[in-house]
Structure 1
Amino acid sequence: MKKIMILAIALLMAGCVTLNQGGRSVSFQESWALLPFINNTETPYAGERAEAVTAALLYARGVQQLKRGTAEPAKPEEISLDRGEQRQRAAMELAKQKKVKYVLMGTVNEWRYKVGLDGEPVVGFTLQVVELPEGRVIWSGAAGKSGWSRDAVSSVAQQVLERLLSEFTEKK
């Protein structure tokens, strides 16, 4: 056990993190793309906010080559129409063209403060890691959380996204 811990620390310090998911190796040294999140909430730009937090967490976990989004930002009139699905599809095609190995795609299902005296923050997400060019989903997770009235939605979102990413990166 001690040797495994030393090896894991050495790999992390070297910046080479390889994960084994279902018999396949997934490397943070490969190219990754973070696709635009689909926003299933009534909160404008919740998807973009979740993407920003997720990108920071991926960099902190060792992803070195992370491509983000599409060539064009979301237009206000598109946000309510398709919730970001067109941008996500376009980003997936762009990732395939650029020969990205893995994409992380997500959906924001909740991003708000509960109605009431305390106004507790509530968030909910689904994430998927897809291996390209096959388009095979190699990991999927969903999580949500309600925080305390003194918490910010973004803080609770960071906690939930961190938990989801840790489930993915720590599974062997």
Structure 2
Amino acid sequence: MKIKGWIKKGRSCLLLLLGTLLMVGCSMGTDRSFVLKDALPRQMTVAVLPFENLSNNPNGGLIVAQLLSTELYHRQIFQQMEETEMRRLLTQNKVDMDRLSDVSLARKVGLMLGVDAVILGSVSELSYQHGLREEPAVGFNVQLLRVADSKVVWRGSQSLMGSGWLRRESLIYTAQQAASQLVARMDHGYGADGSKTAPTAASATQPSGTTAALAPTAEAPATVPAHSEP
């Protein structure tokens, strides 16, 4: 009878241990953030710039920037510039998209786009870690830059490793979870700064056929370094 009791207890402990490992595996990661209080209203217009890719994934910067943009749209923290229009203007003005993690260039691009702030960042990890099991790992840094004075008013970093126990999580799913966690912290940081507004394109109020590049602000000319022509 004692042996049966020990077996039952052992099974219960094993199930509890597996459940704990599953929960830990789903949430393993680190996050850090800094926010300058009362720096920006929710009504401001923001453009999410392409992220610098420092990972081994050739599309790492593009993937994380798009996931972050989607999370921001769902939470409606700020008004967002439409991505297609933003990319059209970047291409039209021959902006070097590989250098957009540079604060000075990001500000000039923000002036060109006619937005109040830009979100820039870099991706350090977006791949599967090979060990006993393949586990997806994600890591990236994000800054929210106020265009008017080049002030970084919010900064955050996020790293997350998905679960490899019982079920394998995809790399995109883990990246989406990491983006969601970081945007949630950003939303909390600006939780007291005005009411939420529906996101709209930054160029929606401009006359047809014109672009923000034609009318930079007076305080700083929007001269953006371009790719050198071959």
Q: What interval of TM-score do these two structures reach, taking the shorter chain for normalisation?
A: 0.7 to 0.9
2:152 maps to 1:137: yes
Which residue number in structure 2 is paired with residue 163 of structure 1? 181
Which residue number in structure 1 is paired with residue 91 of structure 2? 72
Deviation at 1:67, TM superposition (A): 4.5
Which residue number in structure 2 is paired with residue 85 of structure 1? 98
Which residue number in structure 1 is paired with residue 38 of structure 2? 24
2:119 maps to 1:104: yes
TM norm structure 1: 0.73
Deviation at 1:93, TM superposition (A): 2.4
Deviation at 1:116, TM superposition (A): 3.1
Q: Identity over the aligned pairs, expressed in percent?
A: 27
CA-based RMSD of the aligned residues comes to 2.4
| Higher RCO (CA-CA < 8 Å; seq separation 6+) | 2
In the alignment, structure 1 segments of 5+ residues that lack a partner are 1-20, 74-81
If you compute each CA radius of gyration, which structure gives the higher value, 1 or 2? Answer: 2
Give the conservation status (yes or no) of the 8 Å contact 1:107–1:126.
yes
Residue from 84, 87, 94 that aligns with 2:109: 94
In the alignment, structure 2 segments of 5+ residues that lack a partner are 1-34, 193-230
TM norm structure 2: 0.56
